[in-house]
Amino acid sequence: MIHTNYLVIGSGIAGLTFAVKIAEKFPSKTVTIVTKSDENESNTKYAQGGVAVVLDTKEDSFEKHIQDTLIAGDGLCDFSVVEMVITEGPKRFRELIEWGANFDVDASGNFDLGKEGGHSEYRVVHHKDITGYEIERALLQRIHQLENITLLTHHFAVDLITEHQLKIQPKEQVTCYGAYVLNEKNGTILTINAENTLLASGGIGRVYGHTTNPVIATGDGIAMAYRAKAAIKDMEFIQFHPTALYSSEGSSTFLISEAVRGFGAYLRDKKGHRFMLDYDERAELASRDIVSQCIDKELKKSGDTHVFLDCTHLNIAEFIKHFPTIYDKCKSLHIDISKDWIPVVPACHYLCGGIVVDQQGKTTINNLFSCGETSRTGLHGANRLASNSLLEALVYAHNIYKHLSKNNTDFSPIEIPDWDDKGTTITEEHVLIQHNLKEVQALMRNYVGIVRSNSRLKKANIKLDVIYTEVEELYKTSKLNTSLCELRNMINVAHLIINQSIDRKENKGGYFNIDNIH
Ligand code: FAD
Ligand code: SIN
């Protein structure tokens, strides 16, 4: 058993930012970060476009950024949250610079601001096309300087410890006492007892298979919180990024940043028609939900597998300066962007919903907080404005830290038993795990994609139930391993997406159901 003051699950921008702040504030308290892969492996690491933040108040203003966010969110954003995040954003962004993160500046020394879909101004601060990698580098450097932080890599959080897990009756509200964590190197399960627990475990992209997200994005935090009975909302609002690099294998895919369209690239069908002009006056820079839905329509009409992003009219030397990683990736696939169009297709990219939190990042469970992509703050509504998520994570990590600095945790120690794995055996059924994972991904792609229908959602539920029963049986009889736990979590997340989709009777932002057209 490990005792810690603060348990942080996840080492992306959300978890690391909170850990740095709380560890600096309370040097005598302990912060334990658990993360299931290498220390920097996260969605954050792959963020390309940058951080949307109002820094240049001559051209831009908080009002404009607020309006853009509200329009993208299609009427479902929480106004007070939008206002708070956008006005606090510049202060939080500058802290990243104090911790050593570098962002591109122009010849006059001002931030080189990019533009993305749905933004009325240039306001996206970036580090070439590897913004997230740079942020992770700076945050991890700071983490390693702080002696009261322990960072446990390859440690997988299996479940939260609550009265529910301990099979006792909660007093009034359920309380979180930490988490059971699998040490992936030796297979043992640690009991980590914490006064406060932060779920900062990121997104869910892998539930769809065809995604811009890395393999860690399996929705573990949301599934754990759901099993512990926390409120979860807006799971139907899956954001599909319009321009993932097309691959005939159809699995994890490389992102072609929206900033490339902000730089002037055009979307074309295979005949060369610039089809976005037919749909929206903002053309390629309409918000992401609209561009993805239009591409989906075009593909259904033509029967093609992808459309194209045309950069051939752009200044290629400048392109390489801004987007060296994208340029190199295309080149490695023999796509010369000065002559060839880039094949692109929408892919699952971001979850707008998640664990319900208030403005202090508090969940509906005592002593459990959530931050970053795992959480549902109300900022994004039905569709996130591009580059608002890194900003959201910075602001909420700060709010949670502020809250915990001012308020003593109501924490009464209780007896926590070790993880009970009596009667389980090491599973010989890895093939079954892989097989069921592929089934979940296929059903989510085919029945719960960009365009949904009531009958497809119902069919998805029936198919998922069969997989659920088989996997629960395996879970109960097996010694835990990461892939089995991830599969179980993805099934929980798929269940939430399907059922919250069924409950939504109106099309909004990223949610489109043909049976809601009246
Ligand atoms: P993550 O960065 O995903 O971190 C989650 C962490 O939790 C990881 O360390 C993971 O290993 C760990 N974890 C997960 N489950 C467990 C478990 N069970 N036990 C232990 N550890 C666990 N947003 C922008 O604002 N601007 C952009 O330009 C941008 N570009 C993007 C480009 C790509 C390709 C992708 C995929 C996303 C992009 N986004 C962008 C979205 C943004 O990167 C993410 O929403 C954000 O980084 C999420 O941060 P996070 O800290 O919440 O989660
Ligand atoms: C991108 O660079 O296109 C991704 C930006 C984001 O997801 O916010």
Q: Which ligand is nearest to the CA of 192?
A: 1
Pocket test for ligand 1, best of 44, 185, 252 (most atoms within 8 A of CB): 44
Q: Can you give the residue ranges of every domain in the chain? A: 2-236+352-390+400-405, 238-349
Pocket of ligand 2 (CB under 6 A): 48-49, 257-259, 350, 386-387, 389
- The confidence band for 251, taking pLDDT boundaries of 50, 70 and 90, is low
Give the distance (Å) from ligand 1 centre to CA of residue 10.
Answer: 9
Is the CATH number 3.40.190.10 carried by domain 238-349? no
Ligand nearest to the CA of 323: 2
CA distance linking residue 285 with residue 123, whole number of Å: 14
Atom of ligand 1 nearest to the CA of 349: 36
Atom of ligand 2 nearest to the CA of 384: 8
For residue 253, pLDDT beyond 90: no
Instruction: Residue 243: name the closest of 333, 184, 165, 311 by CA.
Output: 311
* Catalytic pick among 92, 261, 288, 456: 288
54-113 per-position pLDDT tens digit: 998 789 999 999 999 999 999 999 999 999 999 999 999 999 999 999 999 999 999 999
Closest CA to ligand 1's atom 24: 387
Q: How far apart are CA 261 and CA 284, in angstroms?
A: 6
* Cα–Cα separations (whole angstroms), residue 94 to 66, 91, 373, 379, 430: 19, 5, 21, 21, 46
Would you call 288 a catalytic residue per the annotation? Answer: yes
According to DSSP, residue 511 is labeled: B
Question: What's 2-236+352-390+400-405's CATH class?
Answer: alpha beta
Per-residue pLDDT tens for 434-479?
999 999 999 999 999 999 999 999 999 999 999 999 999 999 999 9
How is residue 150 written in tokens? 């322990």
Distance 143 CA to ligand 1 centre (A): 17
Strand-pair category, 189-199 with 176-183: antiparallel
Predicted structure pTM score: 0.98
Among candidates 214, 176, 210, 101, which has minimal Cα distance to 363? Answer: 176
Rounded Cα distance between 35 and 369, Å, is 16
Q: Is 392 in the pocket of ligand 1 (CB under 6 A)?
A: no
Q: What share of the chain is helix, strand, coil (3-state, %, to 5)?
A: 40, 20, 40
C-alpha gyration radius of the chain: 22
Q: What is the pLDDT of residue 421?
A: 87
Residue given tokens 């069919």 in the structure block: 459
CA distance 422 to 281: 62
Measured CA distances, 420 to 176, 187, 468 (Å): 18, 13, 22
Tell me the average pLDDT across 356-379.
Answer: 98
Q: Which residues pair with 233 in a beta bridge?
A: 354
Give per-residue pLDDT as tens, 267-298.
Answer: 999 999 999 999 999 999 999 999 999 999 99
pLDDT tens digits for 479-516? 999 999 999 999 999 999 999 999 999 999 999 999 99
Ligand in closest contact with the CA of 221: 1
Count the residues in the chain.
Answer: 518
Report the candidate in 127, 52, 6 with the shortest Cα–Cα distance to residue 397: 6
User: Kind of pairing, strands 266-268 and 307-310?
Assistant: antiparallel
Choice from 124, 211, 241 to test ligand 2 binding pocket (greatest atom count within 8 A of CB):
241
- State in Å: Cα 273 to ligand 1 middle: 35
Residue 176: strand pairing partners:
162
What is the percent of the chain where pLDDT is above 70? 99
Tokens of 213: 């997200």
pLDDT tens, residue by residue, 317-331: 999 999 999 999 999
Distance 2 CA to ligand 2 centre (A): 38
Q: What is the Å distance from ligand 1's center to 55 Cα?
A: 24
Tell which residue, 80, 127, 87, has the closest CA to residue 103. Answer: 127
CA 353/CA 235 separation, integer angstroms: 5
Question: Which pLDDT does position 250 carry in this prediction?
Answer: 63
Residue 388 CA: which ligand 1 atom is closest? 25
Is the per-residue pLDDT at 26 higher than 80? yes
Looking at residues 7-23, what average pLDDT do you find? 99
For residue 17, how far is its CA from the centre of ligand 2 (angstroms)?
20
